[in-house]
Structure 1
Amino acid sequence: MPVSRTGGLRSLWAAGTVLGSFFLSIQAHAQTKSLQTSSSNETAAMLDPVEKISTTTNSSGPNKDSPASLFGSPYDRSQPTLGTVRHPYIPVPGNEALFPKSFSDWLKQPTMTGDWGGLRTRLQNMGITPQGHYLQDSAGNPVGGKTQAVRYAHEVGIGADVNFAQLTGHNYGMFHVLLTERAGLGIGQKIPTLNSPQQIFGSGETIRFTRLSWEMQWSRYADTEIGWINTENDFGQSTMHWGMSLYCQFESNAICGMPQALASNSGYGYYPTAHPGAFLKLYPFGNERMLVSAGIYNVDPTISNTGYAWKLGLHNSTGAYLPFQIGYHFGGTDSKGRLPTNVKFGGYWDTSEVNNVYAQLAGFELSNAALGNLPIEKVRGRYGGWFMADQMLQRDKSDSSRSTVAFMSFTWGDPRTAIAPYFITWGIVRKGTFWNRPNDTISLGGKFNFVNPKLGAYVGALQVQQGADNGLLKPSGEHAGELNYGWRPTQWLTVRPGLQYIWHPGGTNRYKNALLLDFETGVTF
């Protein structure tokens, strides 16, 4: 049926103009303020330009000068950081204890299990960096939604990065391996919601390979990776601030990791699944002020099923996901120089053949709804794009490790097939709360999930034909907000209680708005 979109496009354009103007005005104000308070633009020359997320055993945690960028130092991609030792040699005390001497010493460790009597340091000196974590997301809705429930889900991960340059003395790249195990139940199915309120629920509650790949830094200008990987690591991904994922300061899966519409609209490979794939990253200026990247990933709609946990082949492949991205870093690091800004533009082409968006209408309606003769057709090739930006708004003069960052993302999907052709996330994160809590965070953010207007128009036409009381629900959108407090009593533990409020659960007016009480815990082994 023909649908008039002029009014909707004008509204979207107006909203985008207001949001964009607001963001740019904040950026200009923040950069001006920074220039007034800091006349230097110091660099972090010793930062590892390749390492993405790592835990160094005998340090005091993530360097506060870490650049505000997921893809490494915005300054240094020169020798001797290429193809040689990436981690400085750390002396191992001869009398290293297996267990901490006191509870206070235990809390001061960078990881919960410590240095394993010096073994962890020895492995790191060899170029082998083990990693492990435990995450749990609990949530309950005392009011709103279809029914009231409490749900718990967890993830355990174990893996290692092997740096062959450090292990052998020759630049043979890096080997990555990560296994994850998920279990538990999701509250999003009970409310219900279009996006899971629990970031670690889903993708088959089982054990699976999340990463099994080889990465090579060829020069100052080029990096590659090939193997079983997920797109979320490198395209549409969150920026890192203070050594932490900015988006994953939220429990909502709509925000954490990447804007969720990328996954719902296409064959985007999301964590913790792993797809056969490869990418190429180019640094035109030999540093990470600018990044140009492209990739190719297998599209497999069954990969998140429990029965395919160890699937490494191309069986059930429907096509290829082809993303590209351009990233820019402006300003200094988190603690030095001008207040940092990160901007990313990206897009994708998915070669899969899928049903158009009308095939998803039944998911919004009652099981006995009369949907008429739905105009379902096959579509070959889906496309879309994204814009992501974050800006440090301020940095405390008395303590440069304390600061505030705002972010916003806009995702657009193929209107023929996308369930959420327009999707917006936003947030503000403050690190450093009370005078004695420099590492705690307060985070406020949310999402705007606009359901494809073709579905609403189709239902509206049926209501005109059959009468407004025909029992059909007109899909429009699901929006949500989240407020939480991240308590970090030690480097290896995060405890994050919070609140979520969801407008129009399930994307219709069928259920009352839902309030969620959530509780998240993260432990680094």
Structure 2
Amino acid sequence: MTASTMKKTSFLWMAGTVLGSLFIGHQAFAQSQDRGQNTGETTQVSANLDPTEKVMSGQSQGGKNADNPPNLYGSPYDRSQKTLGTVRHPFVPVPGNESLFPESFNAWLKQPTMTGDWGGLRTRLQNMGIVPQGHYLQDTAGNPTGGRAQTTRYAHEVALGADVNFAQLTGRNFGMFHILLTERTGAGIGQQLPALNSPQEIFGSGETIRFTRLSWEMQWNRYVDTEIGWINTENDFAQSTMHWGMNLYCQFESNAICGMPQALASNSGYGYYPTAHPGAFVKLFPFGDERMLVSAGIYNVDPTISNTGYAWKMWLHNSTGAYLPFQIGWHFGGTDTKGRLPTNIKFGGYWDTSEVKNVYSQLAGFEPSGVNLGNLPVDKVRGRYGGWFEGDQMLQRDASDPNRSTVAFLSFTWGDPRTAIAPYYITWGIVRKGTFWNRPNDTISIGGKFNFVNPKLGSYVGQLQEIQGGNSGLLKPSGEHAGEINYGWRPAPWLTVRPGLQYIWHPGGTNRYKNALLIDFETGVSF
């Protein structure tokens, strides 16, 4: 892309998203100004998130409890009729005798966050509309058998951020400002096995400090939300449903499941957490509630954004094109604890305008060094496309305690056969919340993935093997599949300890290495 084309693209991108947002929201904004002086009856936005999920700023709990429907689509706003026109919440009294340290160990374990209320400062900030966030995550995994060699790897992530609610801060509904910084370090076991998808959900993206979100989000009314700034696609497209106030997919340590179907990242310019890309989206709620969602967005595509040296890179310097996703979703039934068992369904697709090499350019990554790959038919392709389906269904809810229930999910991702390394990709899982009689918040999760490598690569290698004979050393790529089982122990609202097992069939997508068994251990802490 030439410099002049880049400048035109940047200008059109910025102008289009800003003007589009203003056009859509003009009338709604005028109405919200008129109603902005009134205070709704919503409760305070909670800073307590599942400590082990890949937290995106702005996925805070809204409304009165974890049943609130906005969680289904990651919206931080209460979309109920009584709060239309304002997202303010009543002030919470600050305890006069609040201390910096809890009175006892048991009191500490009952706090919503590890660091508590900071002597009342956190409550004062939230009364002002400033909701601080922070977490520490660590993923440790070792393979006692299988793979290229036996090893153990540790990686962690520390994040700090805040959501600023301008309605609470100024009395007028000027939207929300999001900021999130993440720091990652450590090593990934997926590079040693090898594995097509990282078994550790928080390893990757340069292992450095970077902006993960820096944006302005606006709820124009109960029908329209928009956001613009430095964001990642994973926060709003093909994202997991929220159940029990937790990210359903991220009840698994494997990055093959956690966050979103990982084939979207390997097949296209989909912007994944914790990277941040210039982007914007619009979400439409046709019925003014959680029953239906229609959304579309535009995000910059930058293949270098996950590199360590580009951690603070802003704007469109290495843009190869634009990622254009769209999505439609439906919610049926009640909430997690009331009404009919809930069902959620989403369909989506994308067009990536980038010019990239076709799938044959990735064959060398599957083969030993020094083998003869012949005259690879590598060519460039302008534009990639694909789509996804996601669904989850609550299977049962305990009659004696509706806070205990079981949810199953399934996703299917399809990618452009010309360029996609994984044109067919499936994830599935079953998560049970409430295990033993005295463990209502613990979880047990069973799930897995089916990662089918593009059959064009297998066909090409098969032809080469016939030509070169049996001693060619070539490996026929086919796919990599995996399963995981884990137990999520939650001794405190701010602490999750998750031991588990993973089993990977055909590590690296070929038969070169034996199937691998992984013992993993994950810890999450909300500050």
Quote the residue 2:348 is aligned against.
346
Deviation at 1:467, TM superposition (A): 1.1
Quote the residue 2:217 is aligned against.
215
- Find the aligned partners of 1:129 and 1:300 in 2 and give their Cα distance: 31
- Find the aligned partners of 2:77 and 2:341 in 1 and give their Cα distance: 13
Residue 86 of structure 2: which of 74, 83, 92 is its match?
Answer: 83
Aligned AA (1:472): L
Deviation at 1:64, TM superposition (A): 4.3
Q: What per-residue deviation string (whole Å, max 9, x for no partner) do you get for residues 31-69 of structure 1?
A: xxxxxxxxxxxxxx957999952269xx9xx92433361
Aligned AA (1:321): Y
Deviation at 1:313, TM superposition (A): 1.7
Residue 114 of structure 2: which of 95, 112, 115 is its match?
Answer: 112
Quote the residue 1:130 is aligned against.
132
Deviation at 1:89, TM superposition (A): 1.7
Distance 1:395 1:47, change over 3 A: farther
Q: How does 1:390-401 map to 2 (within 5 A)?
A: 390-401=392-403
Aligned AA (2:442): D
Q: Confirm or deny that 1:377 pairs with 2:379.
A: yes
Residue 54 of structure 1: which of 42, 60, 83 is its match?
Answer: 60
Q: What per-residue deviation string (whole Å, max 9, x for no partner) do you get for residues 190-239 of structure 1?
A: 00000000000000110000000000011111000000000000000000
Instruction: State the SS of the aligned residue for 1:69.
Output: helix
Residue 499 of structure 1: which of 501, 505, 517 is its match?
Answer: 501
Residue 518 of structure 2: which of 508, 516, 519 is its match?
Answer: 516
Contact 2:61-2:76 within 8 A present in 1 as well: no
Q: Confirm or deny that 1:178 pairs with 2:180.
A: yes
Deviation at 1:79, TM superposition (A): 4.2
Moved over 6 A (4+): 47-51
Q: Confirm or deny that 1:459 pairs with 2:461.
A: yes
Quote the residue 1:481 is aligned against.
483
Residue 69 of structure 1: which of 72, 88, 93 is its match?
Answer: 72
- Find the aligned partners of 1:317 and 1:205 in 2 and give their Cα distance: 22
Q: What is the TM-score of this pair, normalised by structure 2?
A: 0.88
Aligned AA (1:311): K
Contact 1:282-1:291 within 8 A present in 2 as well: yes
Unaligned residue ranges in structure 2 (runs of 5+): 1-40, 47-56
Quote the residue 2:207 is aligned against.
205
- Find the aligned partners of 2:82 and 2:276 in 1 and give their Cα distance: 32
- Find the aligned partners of 1:180 and 1:341 in 2 and give their Cα distance: 33
Q: What per-residue deviation string (whole Å, max 9, x for no partner) do you get for residues 257-288 of structure 1?
A: 00000000000000000000000000111112
Contact 2:84-2:222 within 8 A present in 1 as well: no
Quote the residue 1:410 is aligned against.
412
CA RMSD, Structure 1 to Structure 2 (Å): 1.8
Aligned AA (1:138): T
Aligned AA (2:491): P
- Find the aligned partners of 2:162 and 2:145 in 1 and give their Cα distance: 43
Contact 2:198-2:255 within 8 A present in 1 as well: yes
Deviation at 1:334, TM superposition (A): 0.5
Deviation at 1:465, TM superposition (A): 1.0
- Find the aligned partners of 2:274 and 2:66 in 1 and give their Cα distance: 28
Distance 1:298 1:273, change over 3 A: same
Contact 1:49-1:81 within 8 A present in 2 as well: no
- Find the aligned partners of 2:76 and 2:215 in 1 and give their Cα distance: 22
Q: What per-residue deviation string (whole Å, max 9, x for no partner) do you get for residues 102-152 of structure 1?
A: 101100100000000000001001100000000000000000000110000
Larger mean CA deviation between 72-81 and 278-287 belongs to 72-81
Instruction: State the SS of the aligned residue for 2:97.
Output: coil
Identity, % of aligned positions: 80
Deviation at 1:372, TM superposition (A): 0.2
Larger mean CA deviation between 63-72 and 304-313 belongs to 63-72
Q: How does 1:288-327 map to 2 (within 5 A)?
A: 288-327=290-329
Quote the residue 1:330 is aligned against.
332
Aligned AA (2:310): Y
Q: What is the TM-score of this pair, normalised by structure 1?
A: 0.88
Contact 2:42-2:83 within 8 A present in 1 as well: no
Deviation at 1:74, TM superposition (A): 11
Q: How does 1:160-179 map to 2 (within 5 A)?
A: 160-179=162-181
- Find the aligned partners of 2:464 and 2:193 in 1 and give their Cα distance: 26
Aligned AA (1:54): S
Q: What per-residue deviation string (whole Å, max 9, x for no partner) do you get for residues 62-119 of structure 1?
A: 924333613459994424243341x332111111111101101100100000000000
Count of residues in correspondence between the two structures:
476
Quote the residue 1:102 is aligned against.
104
- Find the aligned partners of 2:156 and 2:203 in 1 and give their Cα distance: 7
Quote the residue 2:365 is aligned against.
363
Quote the residue 1:274 is aligned against.
276
- Find the aligned partners of 1:120 and 1:383 in 2 and give their Cα distance: 45
Contact 1:349-1:381 within 8 A present in 2 as well: yes
Contact 1:264-1:418 within 8 A present in 2 as well: yes
Deviation at 1:173, TM superposition (A): 0.6
- Find the aligned partners of 2:299 and 2:92 in 1 and give their Cα distance: 38
Unaligned residue ranges in structure 1 (runs of 5+): 1-44
